[in-house]
Amino acid sequence: MKTSMGVGFLSLAAMLGAGAAQAADNKVTLQLKWVPQAQFAGYYVAKDKGFYKDEGLDVTVKPGGPDVAPEQVIAGGGADVIVDWMPAALAAREKGAALVNIAQPFKHSGLELTCRADTGIKTPADLKGRTLGVWFYGNEYPFLNWMGKLKFPTDGSKDGVKVVKQGFNVDPLLQKQADCISTMTYNEYWQVIDAGYKPEQLVVFKYEDNGVSTLEDGLYAMEDKLKDPAFVDKMAKFVKASMKGWEYARAHPDEAVKIVLDNDTSGAQTEHHQTQMMAEINKLTAGSDGRLDKADYDRTVKTLLTGGSDPVISKEPVGAYTTAVTDKALAK
């Protein structure tokens, strides 16, 4: 009797242990690049509509913020996958954090430099000698690369530009502390408009139009974890569900906005601004099925390697992306 009970307890313990292991295997932690907003609608939609659950996944979406560097979070084991810009990811990889692009939901770049028209700036050549607001925390790389191509030092010299470390707001432009500031097509540009500026009072230089755009908002995982076939399979399910979320967001933007607002625990976001953002974000994800376009990757790498005397990366990356995840995700 004691033996059979012992065996029974052992069997139950084994079953519970297997169940716990399976539950752990289904957990995915996603670290976002910024706070909850329409920029990440696809992931919030996928969770809200049960797309992750349909793939057997239990996904936790961690918001970012001004003091959160996704590269550091994932390198420290705080996430399985992150949303990041390729310049920051490749720079981190060269410094030892072996990040790998596993999918690219964003096809186009939303980065731009927005200037006051009353400064007289009309072309990129007119930026010489000006004061420019720039984001840091990994967002500065595309800007530094562009200035390198223009041969404009960023040390404040008369033949270069003066860089103001811009907070994640548009205050330097509104308060005339800078001639131009960094904006995104889907966010800060509209903050300037909502503050009272009219489009004709602004001069906007889109990085994409000036041949210096780089890939934004890709999905990245650590190289060592991708050696595990089970992890690759889990990421494939995650990417498949995420892309379904992005597709749904494009087809139902108003509903997607409501889902984003439901996930904004701070209450800082407004429906008006998120509706503007969702419309612009949908333009950036249009045309992507999640696969990384090799031509886009090559363009990004070339741009980062040719940024003047101080390029973002010093050599051609090796192993910085994989198609294994999207190949599996899109084959199902």
> Domains plus CATH for the chain?
27-107+215-331 (3.40.190.10), 111-206 (3.40.190.10)
Whether residue 186 is predicted with pLDDT greater than 90 in this model: the reply is: yes
Amino acid at 96: G
Residue count of the chain: 332
Pick from 177, 172, 174, 206: nearest CA to 193: 174
Average of per-residue pLDDT across 285-297: 96
Residue range 220-279, pLDDT digits in tens: 999 999 999 999 999 999 999 999 999 999 999 999 999 999 999 999 999 999 999 999
Quick one: tokens of 206?
């889109």
CB 33 within 8 A of CB 272: no
Pick from 193, 211, 186, 210: nearest CA to 284: 186
Quick one: tokens of 17?
């242990």
Whether residue 325 is predicted with pLDDT greater than 80 in this model: the reply is: yes
Quick one: tokens of 184?
């995104």
Quick one: tokens of 256?
């997607």
Give me the pLDDT at residue 27, please. Answer: 98
Whether residue 329 is predicted with pLDDT greater than 60 in this model: the reply is: yes
Quick one: tokens of 280?
């612009």
* Model pTM score: 0.88
- What is the rounded distance in angstroms from the CA atom of residue 321 to the CA atom of residue 223? 9
Average of per-residue pLDDT across 79-101: 96
Give me the pLDDT at residue 139, please. Answer: 79
**Confidence category of residue 303, pLDDT binned at 50, 70, 90:** confident
Whether residue 39 is predicted with pLDDT greater than 50 in this model: the reply is: yes
Quick one: tokens of 255?
């509903």
CB 282 within 8 A of CB 253: yes
**Confidence category of residue 149, pLDDT binned at 50, 70, 90:** confident
Average of per-residue pLDDT across 35-50: 98
Give me the pLDDT at residue 279, please. Answer: 98
Whether residue 2 is predicted with pLDDT greater than 80 in this model: the reply is: no
Percent of the chain with pLDDT over 70: 91
For 302, the 3-state DSSP assignment is helix
Give me the pLDDT at residue 23, please. Answer: 53
Q: Would you list the DSSP string of 100-154?
A: EEEE----S--EEEEEEGGGT--SGGGGTT-EEEE--TT-SHHHHHHHHHHT--S
